[in-house]
Every structure is written in C-alpha cells, then in structure tokens.
Amino acid sequence: MPELPEVETIARELRVRLIGRTITGAEIRWARSIATPSPAEFEQRVIGRTVQAVGRRGKFLLLHLSGGATLLVHLRMSGQLLLAPRLSPSEKHVRVVLTLDDGSTLRFQDQRKFGRMWLVRDPQVVLGRLGPEPLAEDFTLDVFVRLIERRSGMLKPLLLNQSFLAGLGNIYADEALFRARLHPRRKANSLNEDEIARLYRAIRQVLGEAISGRGTTFDGVYRRVNGDSGGFQESLLVYGRTGEPCRECGTSIERIVLGGRGTHFCPHCQPAP
C-alpha cells in the first residue's frame, strides 16, 4: 500500500506534468471509485478545470483545480495514478480516466477497488483529523515528545494511526522501529527521552531516504506516474525479510501480527519489552 514517500513521489512527478493543464474529459468506469459527488456530477464538475497546484497530506494526493475545487485521491491498497499519451486498450483495472488538453490521460488504476477520489470545495472535509506531517519543519522533536508521551498503546499500531501521525503505513513503521532499535510491542509511554529522539529521527530519516529513492515497490503495487517501479525496496532492512539475516547482527528477522498487521523486526536489535 502506497505510503507517504510513494504519494510524495507521485505528487512531485504530477506537479511537473499537470500544472497548467486543463481537464477536457472524464470517464468513470467504476462508480464507487468516486466517493463524492455522484459520478455524473463529478464528470460535469471536473471538466474545464485547470490544475493549479499539486499537494500531499499524509497519504492523500491533492490536485487543486481552478474555480475553488480540489480533487483528492487516496490510493489505499492497490491504486495507481499513471500519465500516458493515450489509453492503451489492453490496460486492466482502469477505474477513472481524465483527459487533459495536451492529449495525455491521467488514469486511475486500482485492481482491488479500495482507492477513492473526492471532488470537493474544502479538502478538510475529507482530510478530517489527520495528525502532523512528519517531514514538516514545525514537526519538531518537542512536538513529537508531547504527542507520544501521553499515548499508552504499543508503538506499531500507534505509528499506523493517521490521527497520531500522518503518512506512515506498514512498511515505514517497521523500518522506522528497526532503525530506532525499538520493539514494535513497546508501549509509547514507556520510552525514555533518548528512545523518543531515536524514533523521531528514524521516522524522518527513513521517509526522507525513501522519497529520494522514489518510493518502495513491493508486490508490484506502487508505480511511479510513468509506470516505473520505485527504488527503495532494495534498501528495506526488515520489511518483507522474514527469516533473512538482520543486516546489522545476522539474527533472523521475525514476523508477528500486531493489530492485524504483519510486523517485521529483529529480535536482537529490537529487544522485547
């Protein structure tokens, strides 16, 4: 599932290509991909608008359109946003196609159909109560300390909680906890000052490095807008490496299920609480 670095990569790539382009056509092939408004109203309201800015908040992509509308996209499990000169008829799982005034198409492919698009005036209605952006300048260590020290839950589910911190998913939560040498079952309010600082740095480092690597393609889900894979999968230290030797100490990486999610860690580098 695409997380902050993957959505940020898509946003950066779309920004170069989409700003100034006007949407000239919309075709909805799977009605439920459009969360709001109705598919007919979506088509009618999106056509003729020009892309003015491309942003990201957590795992949401935001296309700010002329006339005070915002198109939000959440890729969820398997969504992909691809820019292509024209639609090749062989493509499967295409749910929404937007045609642009330069003849290119932005298409939303989504094999598992959990991805959603919203066309709204106020993005906040969709974004709701998202936690802070981990890479924002004002997300300081002090802010993180105040957030985490009043939480009593286990670290792994907490890092996945989008109202605690926006943008982390299963891959980068596991990678950040490994880098911070913290067991995923540790309780948030059991961390000392040094451990909180380690986790803060690990989260920001792994996200920054993954953006530089253009994201992680695992199980073929995430694609850049030209269809290429990301590059960060080569740099994963624990995620998807069950049974393989830890790159730090050689111990076999273990997998447990926490809060319903597969969780990867090194039992030596990340001692159990």
x-marked contacts with Zn ion along 207-246 as a string, rule CB under 5 A:
---------------------------------------x
Complex with Zn ion: residue 24 or 251, whichever CB lies closer: 251
Class of residue 68 by CB neighbours under 10 A (exposed 0-12, middle 13-18, buried 19+): exposed
Token look-up 């299963």 returns: 170
Class of residue 179 by CB neighbours under 10 A (exposed 0-12, middle 13-18, buried 19+): buried
Q: How many CA atoms lie within 13 A of 168 on its CB side?
A: 31
Token look-up 């999106």 returns: 46
Q: How many CA atoms lie within 13 A of 1 on its CB side?
A: 20
Report the site for Zn ion in 5-24 (rule: CB under 5 A).
Answer: none
Complex with Zn ion: residue 28 or 269, whichever CB lies closer: 269
Complex with Zn ion: residue 164 or 178, whichever CB lies closer: 178
**Residue of 1, 229, 230 whose CA lies nearest to 110:** 1
Complex with Zn ion: residue 23 or 237, whichever CB lies closer: 237
Class of residue 75 by CB neighbours under 10 A (exposed 0-12, middle 13-18, buried 19+): buried
- At its nearest, how many Å lie between Zn ion and the CB of residue 238? 9
- At its nearest, how many Å lie between Zn ion and the CB of residue 266? 3
Please name the helix (run of DSSP H) or strand (run of DSSP E) that holds residue 265, with its range, or none. Answer: strand 261-265
Which active-site residues does the annotation give?
Answer: 2-3, 59, 261
Q: Are 21 and 105 in contact (CB under 8 A)?
A: no
- At its nearest, how many Å lie between Zn ion and the CB of residue 257? 20
133 binds Zn ion (CB under 5 A): no
Q: Are 106 and 100 in contact (CB under 8 A)?
A: yes
Token look-up 């890092």 returns: 159
- At its nearest, how many Å lie between Zn ion and the CB of residue 250? 7
Q: Which residue of this chain has its Cβ atom nearest to Zn ion in the complex?
A: 246
Q: Strand (E) positions, 101-227?
A: 105-110, 116-120
Complex with Zn ion: residue 17 or 185, whichever CB lies closer: 185
Q: How many residues bind Zn ion (CB under 5 A)?
A: 7
- At its nearest, how many Å lie between Zn ion and the CB of residue 79? 34
x-marked contacts with Zn ion along 240-269 as a string, rule CB under 5 A:
------x-xx-x--------------x-xx
Question: How far is Cα of residue 72 from the mean position of the Cα atoms in its chain?
Answer: 13
Residues contributing to the site for Zn ion (CB under 5 A): 246, 248-249, 251, 266, 268-269
